[in-house]
Amino acid sequence: MKRIGFLTSGGDCQGLNPAMRGVTETICTALGDKEVEFYGFEDGYKGLIYGKYRKMTRADFAGIQNMGGTILGTSREPFKLIQIVDPETGLDKVKEMKKTYAKLKLDCLVVLGGNGSTKTANLLSQQGLNVVSLPKTIDNDIWGTDMTFGCHTAVEIATEAIDRTRTTAASHSRTFLVEIMGHKVGWLALEAGIAGGADAILLPEIPYSVKKVAALIKKNTKAGKKYSIICVAEGAMTKEEAKMPKKERAAFYASTGTASDRLAKALAELVPNEIRCVNPGHTQRGGNPCAYDRRFATELGAAAGQLILEEKYGNMVALRGNELVPVPLEEVAGKLKYVPVDGEEVKYARALGISFAD
């Protein structure tokens, strides 16, 4: 009898449900329904810590491949706090997670999460638990994999936001700043900006000049273009902001609003154009997964199922080239996959005339 636990941790994204279904279908097909028990932990690592779970069957995962969100619920449990014993209650989170794992006699814990979740997954693996993880995040910023599930759907939503903004921008002859999710890494803004034909893309990896953004808008106006579309990553920063110490920058941001808000205020003093901000926000993480993410997440789940059957624990399933391969959690944990500032996508965007205002 195999006993498999599931948890979805961190921000939700499209593809979590089909990924879990991929795992269950693969294991049940190989062993038979009666030879497997599944346990779903509620609200991420909290479920594992506080023993909140439900026993599940193959039927619970049937027909969920087109559903967004996660049937298990999720929450954020910051890695920097996971090993700290609560001074008031004496709660040792790592100890409690190990206790719940042992109580249920799990053969493996499947963790579907982003960077912080993967760090905790690696910690549990080092503590002796059998863990397999799957790379989920719309940001596509997990080191070791070419793609994460959820990213393609989010790019489609962000691109549609740019497309819909373009028509009203043209109608009213306005400049629009479309803010796209991506606090530390700009893959989502880069992909959507190229697909949506933005005039400029501002990324966390490439600090920008407000004056150069203003010059671009003036150039477009002079050339007879009635509007400009600036794609702004959530974590985009000016060259001046990039030089600030992190704590000072965080305090500055807390008092000045979002990246697009700050840019809009700065541009208002430099250009006569009417400036508007659009922030699709959490819609980028919401709704049903696109066909690519359904297939990709399902295949990642199937690959994870194979690792469990072969007892190859301590790995994350990654896409490298056209292959799904296991990558040791210790190689992945704590690393971010940034947009290469001299990489192919940035290079082609520049060739297309898209500005990064640097």
User: 231 has which bridge partners?
Assistant: 178, 201
d(CA 252, CA 241): 9
Specify whether 139 is catalytic: yes
d(CA 60, CA 336): 34
Nearby residues of 221 by Cβ (< 8 Å), 6 or more positions away: 228, 273
Q: Any alpha helices (H) in 40-150, and if so which ranges?
A: 45-50, 79-82, 93-103, 115-126
CB count in 10 Å sphere of residue 345: 13
d(CA 239, CA 223): 27
Structure token digits, residue 244: 């600030």
Burial (CB count <10 Å: 0-12, 13-18, 19+), residue 72: buried
Comparing C-alpha atoms, which of 74, 102, 75 is closest to residue 5?
Answer: 102
Residue type, 126: Q
Length of the chain: 358
User: 176 has which bridge partners?
Assistant: 229, 276
Catalytic pick among 12, 33, 60, 139: 139
Pair 190, 346: CB distance under 8 Å: yes
* Helix (H) / strand (E) containing 30: helix 16-31
Q: Could you tell me the CA-to-CA distances from 339 to 117, 186, 190, 205, 207 in Å, in that order?
A: 21, 6, 9, 7, 13
Strands (E), the chain: 2-8, 36-41, 53-56, 108-113, 131-135, 175-180, 200-202, 228-233, 275-278, 315-320, 323-328
Indicate which residues carry an active-site annotation. Answer: 139
